[in-house]
Amino acid sequence: MIPRRKTRQVLVGGVPIGGDAPVSIQSMTSTYTYDVDATVRQIRQLAEAGCDIVRVAVPDPRDTAALPAILEQSPVPIVADVHFHYERALEAVEAGVHKIRLNPGNIKDRRHVDRVILACRERNIPIRVGVNEGSVVERRDKDVRGEQQAELAADYRSHMIRLMVATLEDYMRIFDENDFHDVVLSAKSIDAGMVIDAYRAVSERFDLPLHLGVTHAGPPETGRIRSIAALGSLLSMGIGDTIRISYAADPIYEVEDGKELLCSLGLRNRVEPELIACPTCGRIEIDLIKLVAEVRQKLSTIKTPVKVAVMGCVVNGPGEAEGADVAVFAGKGRGIIYVQGEQKRTVTEPEMLDALYEEALAFAARVERGEAELSHTRVNIVPPDPLPRKDGTIPLVVSKTR
């Protein structure tokens, strides 16, 4: 288990962030918040996928007016994202939202910040203070903006990080003077390396819980690499208490990839099957890519964290699949299926998908009944007999199907 950085803990609805709480997953709706039905539908989809907290945008009074109906139907805590108008924060608090997000680059008037803090204190509502690379530079005061831009031109990376930390320090003085400490911090950038350095600097300066994220990361195809590079590095250092992976796509992908990241680092227990597959190479004699896609779809119906391996040969497959509860090793038109190291069936390629699914489903049922245990360590898999011929072909004998 990765040792976690010690932070204060805040409570977002029923979800704790920081302290000894597990790292939570967040996402944000892409609907217009005032469209209650569409927003609630997406919140439920995200929650079913494993999202712990959902954020909604409230740029307009009609959005905050919709919050009571949304909150009444939401299965998870809701965060109101406030950018330019502090009134939206006050309206969201009045509606009963579970958390407020403020951007210091947009809401700077001390009187306005004081009012939001007071309203949140009265309702025990935490606030996330988030600085972004795109909004942290001064916009209104031309002299200050000129000075900042000159510093950034000389050494953009170090001065941007310094500016982010300084902005948080200035903003947090207001919270300290109000004796308000239910705060979560974030410092996002599009650059993965800058995100890592910025959060390391923030973690050294504050003991508050941190919300990790990469801002406007792009579509999943490229954004997941950028996001995992940054968030995975920080989490492996013990930095980070809640995460949001941001994509220009359906937010369901944010939740799916966030779960996989946390599970891969041992920061979250799996609740559904884990699928592993060998890399394709010249030894493969079946359409492995198609089979893996089909297996992944079939396994989505199983609600037990069974580990399933799909291997394209019996050369390295048995060793690479050790640890899998259910595995298939494929030869030319044939496949051998193992369950926790025991050879169960030899089937033809057309039968492989259904046979593998049947064994996975049956094993999951045994686990649920308490008749079997999941493999949390390596499973010894004896290679199939007979072994491959000298030319690499595998003389598999097909058994009768069940």
- 290 and 171 within one domain: no
Q: Does residue 238 sit within a domain? A: yes
| pTM for the predicted model, two decimal places | 0.87
- 177 and 133 within one domain: yes
- 136 and 284 within one domain: no
Lowest mean pLDDT across 74-83, 188-197, 250-259, 283-292: 283-292
Q: Does residue 57 sit within a domain? A: yes
| 245-266 mean pLDDT | 94
- 91 and 192 within one domain: yes
Residue 135's CATH number: 3.20.20.20
Q: Does residue 378 sit within a domain? A: no
Predicted confidence (pLDDT) at residue 107 exceeds the cutoff of 80:
no
- Phi, psi angles (nearest 5°) of residue 136: -80, -25
**Most confident of the ranges 95-109, 216-230, 249-263, 366-380:** 249-263
Residue 317's CATH number: 3.30.413.10
- 344 and 250 within one domain: no
Whole domain around residue 335: which residue ranges? Answer: 274-368
| 231-242 mean pLDDT | 97
User: Is residue 377 very low, low, confident or very high in pLDDT (cuts 50, 70, 90)?
Assistant: low
Domain count of the fold of the chain: 2
- 286 and 244 within one domain: no
Predicted confidence (pLDDT) at residue 402 exceeds the cutoff of 50:
no
Q: Does residue 147 sit within a domain? A: yes
- 284 and 225 within one domain: no
